[in-house]
Amino acid sequence: MPNKKPHTASTSLRVIISGGGTGGHIFPAVAIANELRRRQPDADILFVGANGRMEMTRVPEAGYEIVGLDIAGLQRRLTPQNLIFPIRVMRAVRKAGKLIEQFRPDVVVGVGGYASAPVLLAATSRGIPSLIQEQNSYAGLVNKLLSRRVSKICVAYEGMEKFFPPEKLVLTGNPVRTEIASGNRLEARQFFGLTLDQPVLLVIGGSLGARTLNQATAAALPRLKAAGVQLLWQTGKLYYPEAAQQAAPFAADNLKALEFVQRMDLAYAAADVVVSRAGALSVSELCLTGKPSILVPSPNVAEDHQTKNAMALVRKDAALLVSDAEAPAKLYDTALALLQNPAQQQQLATQVQQLARPAATTTIVDELLKLIGKVQIPTS
């Protein structure tokens, strides 16, 4: 249960951060918490997530307390779960309200995901300052509905006034761990057991893995071997056993299947080209690391927002795009052609770095502290 100590004028800053569901929501939330804690070490920070989702393990691993709500999203087809959805939402809002009354936060942050809506509804109905951090270039339905209630909306892309009240918008970028871009190429190649004289392709399907990317990569293993390309292939937990078997005959060729990549800083540093889904966090990391990439947006997301994320880069000649439907036939033709074209790699790298916003996390925390009139502690 959350800390129940009395809230007085001398009590440290209290913040609730709500949301989760995927790494794209969780990692920005933890980045915000870390920056708050860096500036105000005695800050009291409580996370609220959805029971059964990955935030319930990842947030405690990052050193923060989390409370779970029994909430899930609407299914795309008629199911018994959809019929009880309104009841679950009302129960979640009631529990969120009790948590807020117990914890008494100065401010509430929503980062998206199932738990974000009940917490923001409960907070705004009690007049507590609140902030949404919208990661995508196409706003989610929940954030659009809540935008009239919250105090401030931090966004990662230009042109978001078509979704939100313009007077509440602050263009910040997405919170990304800045150390993600600090990897050393030599150290990275040694860490993964790769040679320095052959190109490296990094394939990342997000924290849960991506079926299309995994199937296309498995089929392309002989082509990668023939081309002398080394591979770091992040498969996701569900797909790893099969992928490991498929990659095993190519181990001597440095074609490696990995369930999860803990040292993403070194993975990016080792790579010449990246193949990735187009989740908001992945796109922001590619901008910060300046990596030439081929984006394969997931078709299984609300409002096809990954395609919109990808197009924000493609329109600026900062990435290549292969659709999920085209990937089985086209992805590795495109990847091999890019690996063999250093000039195109350099062009993409130059363009994508111009879109990076390395100060995103500090800017979001600035806005958060402004909402509650807290005195700024210098960020440098």
∠ at Cα 245 (243, 251), nearest 5°? 95
Predicted confidence (pLDDT) per residue in 183-194, tens digit: 999 999 999 999
Residue 182, annotated as binding a ligand: no
Residue 23, annotated as binding a ligand: yes
Q: Phi/psi of residue 323, each to 5°?
A: -70, 160
Closest to 175 in 3D by CA, of 227, 140, 134: 134
Do 278 and 342 lie in a common domain?
yes
Confirm whether 201 is domain-assigned. yes
Do 272 and 365 lie in a common domain?
no
Residue 22, annotated as binding a ligand: yes
Do 156 and 280 lie in a common domain?
no
Residue 282, annotated as binding a ligand: yes
pLDDT score of 2: 55
Do 170 and 183 lie in a common domain?
no
Do 210 and 158 lie in a common domain?
no
Do 125 and 247 lie in a common domain?
no
Predicted confidence (pLDDT) per residue in 152-162, tens digit: 999 999 899 99
* H/E segment holding residue 49: strand 44-50
Full domain range(s) for residue 87:
14-176+358-371
Residue 15, annotated as binding a ligand: no
Confirm whether 18 is domain-assigned. yes
Do 100 and 150 lie in a common domain?
yes
Confirm whether 118 is domain-assigned. yes
303: left (phi > 0), else alpha (psi -120 to 50), else beta? left
User: With 80 as the cut, is the pLDDT of residue 242 above it?
Assistant: yes
Residue 147, annotated as binding a ligand: no
pLDDT score of 243: 96
Do 137 and 199 lie in a common domain?
no
Predicted confidence (pLDDT) per residue in 130-143, tens digit: 999 999 888 888 88
Residue 284, annotated as binding a ligand: yes
pLDDT score of 79: 56
Determine which of 12-21, 120-129, 211-220, 314-323 has the lowest per-residue pLDDT on average: 12-21
Confirm whether 365 is domain-assigned. yes
Domain tally, the chain: 2
Q: Would you place residue 92 in the very low, low, confident or very high pLDDT band (cuts 50, 70, 90)? A: confident
Residue 281, annotated as binding a ligand: yes
Do 157 and 195 lie in a common domain?
no
3 state DSSP class of 50:
strand
Using CA atoms, how far apart are residues 179 and 289, in angstroms rounded to an integer?
Answer: 10
When the pLDDT of each residue in the chain is averaged and rounded to a whole number, the result is 90
Predicted confidence (pLDDT) per residue in 96-132, tens digit: 999 999 999 999 999 987 789 999 999 999 999 999 9
Confirm whether 42 is domain-assigned. yes
Q: The domain spanning residue 292 has which CATH number?
A: 3.40.50.2000
Confirm whether 213 is domain-assigned. yes
Do 186 and 334 lie in a common domain?
yes
Do 233 and 341 lie in a common domain?
yes
User: With 80 as the cut, is the pLDDT of residue 360 above it?
Assistant: yes
Residue 177, annotated as binding a ligand: yes
pLDDT score of 95: 93
Residue 24, annotated as binding a ligand: yes
Confirm whether 380 is domain-assigned. no
Confirm whether 5 is domain-assigned. no
Contact 237, 259 (CB under 8 A): yes
Contact 106, 131 (CB under 8 A): no
pLDDT score of 153: 97
Do 171 and 244 lie in a common domain?
no
pTM, two decimals, is 0.83
